[in-house]
Amino acid sequence: MPYGLLATLLMLIHFAWIIFMIWGFVLTIRGFWRPAFWNRTAFRTIHLLGILFVAAMPLLNRLCPLTEWEYELRRRVAPDADGGQSFIIDWLERVIYPDVPIEVVLVPTFIIASFTLLMYILRPPVRVRSLFFRGGGPGRSD
């Protein structure tokens, strides 16, 4: 498979990951009004681990691995090229790699990660709660 096609496929996966992180946050907030969401152990755990990973990258002074892999694949296609992609790819790249100060991305990411972790601790999924508390935990009536 050509490197350009692999880079585009990786960018689409990266975009899907971003949507998953945002959608997971929306569902976490929505969980206040729809308690059944709190029981989705796999989704909530994957989302929590993912958003903590995303928030840890800048603290470790690292780029997202998907970003690094995509850049490497694009460099293999054309080391000196800039642009020349399709309209959709160009706009997806603007969403994934916005040209804004890093704080504009970091601050919301840390807020989302903190809120998600707090909600996971305060309202853990039933399977997780049953590991730590007998009878579903203190004060639970879900």
pLDDT of residue 142: 45
The packing angle between helices 102-122 and 3-30, to 10°, is: 50
pLDDT of residue 5: 87
The residue ranges of every structural domain in the chain are 3-76+85-136
Q: Which residues contact 14 (CB under 8 A, 6 or more apart)?
A: 64, 66, 67, 70, 96
pLDDT of residue 76: 85
Per residue of the chain (142 residues), give pLDDT as tens: 688 889 889 888 988 999 999 998 998 888 777 777 667 888 889 999 999 999 998 888 888 888 888 888 888 887 765 555 555 666 677 777 778 888 888 899 999 999 999 988 888 887 777 777 665 444 444 4
Question: For residue 92, what are its two tokens?
Answer: 């997806």
pLDDT of residue 84: 52
